[in-house]
Amino acid sequence: MAPPPPFRFEVVARAGAARAGLLTTPHGVVETPAFMPVATQAAAKLLTPEELLAAGTQLLVANTFHLHLRPGEDIIAELGGLHRFMSWPAALLTDSGGFQVHSLRALREVDDDGVAFRSPVDGAPLRLTPESATLIQEKLGADFAMAFDYCASYPAPREEVARAVELTTAWARRCRDAHRSPTQRMLGICQGGLDADLRERSARELVALDFFGYAVGGLAVGEPPAETAAFTRLTAPLLPADKPRYLMGVGRPDDVAMGVAAGVDLFDCVAPTREGRHGAAFTPTGRLNVRQAELRTDGRPLVAGCECYTCRHYGRAYLRHLALAGEALGARLLSLHNVHYLQHELRALRTRILADAD
């Protein structure tokens, strides 16, 4: 009989609330804290798997809802699963489609059993339930699946946030009971919006269901950054200390540093590639808009000493030219820099935690 797949999470050092850990998966060991670029349609926009790996990426996030729409989980399963389909050799996580309850709220109706959508592709009806979201993710075959949740929008009345918490718990239990894959682990998602009592209730109910790990959901959906930070600091300690903690939708350097300090292990966001497509770069002094006129004769790299491909080969003036000319190469080079920069920042934070361990 084959041995069980090697899933394990271990915290190896703590510095205050910050943690350095090792997340063992069938596709390698992820050193945490770690950032997961978003590959919604089985691709991180403009970047190849080889470029993501070279930038230090250890784990990617793909989207259940969109892959169900096209090409469909059955096709992906027939072709050997999502890892093989997208030629990604490292660890992989799929979101459940719960974020689309927020992002596609004009195209959906929520009831106790699940969510009815109109497809953003062709308007066709589509329904997700905890059981169907779980089955889709099992067929996709990522290392980690997320429980189907209700992500309330911001701002939302307390009654909607309370209903989101109630349905998230009920749906998480159904996901747990429906999940059968021995080669995949499931994470629960804590909701509660900007209500401390509801956050605590959601965390308590989700922890009782004993998932492999837990995500902080329902933040980074439009609320002020100070609120994101406050509720991250509130929620993280409510989650088990011996399991991975995942802050969803956060991926700018300052926000990631805040999450690490609060005790979060995993992050995901479209920000690095979205900012790149909009002509912006991450730097130690903040967001740099490469279209600004003062860069027109600036031959320096985006960040002095940065070892990314972009900074080793190109200067700011050239990147400005590409952005103003609308050349796709500019968006690619900026996206590559932003992913590399964020991964470098996470490695530096991990090194600091190990050096300053309690």
The token pair at 314 is: 């190109």
Residue with tokens 């195209």, as numbered in its chain: 107
Which long-range contacts does 241-245 make (Cβ < 8 Å, 24+ apart)?
241/11, 242/9, 242/11, 243/9, 243/211, 243/212, 243/213, 243/214, 244/9, 244/21, 244/23, 244/32, 244/187, 244/212, 244/213, 244/214, 245/213, 245/214, 245/215, 245/216
| Residues in CB range of 50: below 8 A, 6 or more apart | none
Residue 162 contacts residue 196 (beta carbons within 8 Å) = no
* Distances, alpha carbon 258 to alpha carbons 22, 233, 236, in Å: 20, 9, 12
Active-site residue among 143, 255, 265, 268? 268
First-to-last C-alpha distance (Å) of the chain:
42
Active-site residue among 95, 143, 149, 195? 95
Residue 51 contacts residue 87 (beta carbons within 8 Å) = no
Verify whether residue 242 is a known catalytic residue: no
Where b means 16+ CB within 10 Å and e means fewer, 99-130 reads: bbbbebeeebebeeebbebeeeeeeeebebbb
Verify whether residue 358 is a known catalytic residue: no
Residue 149 contacts residue 189 (beta carbons within 8 Å) = yes
At 315, give phi and psi (nearest 5°): -105, 170
- Active site (catalytic) residues: 95, 268
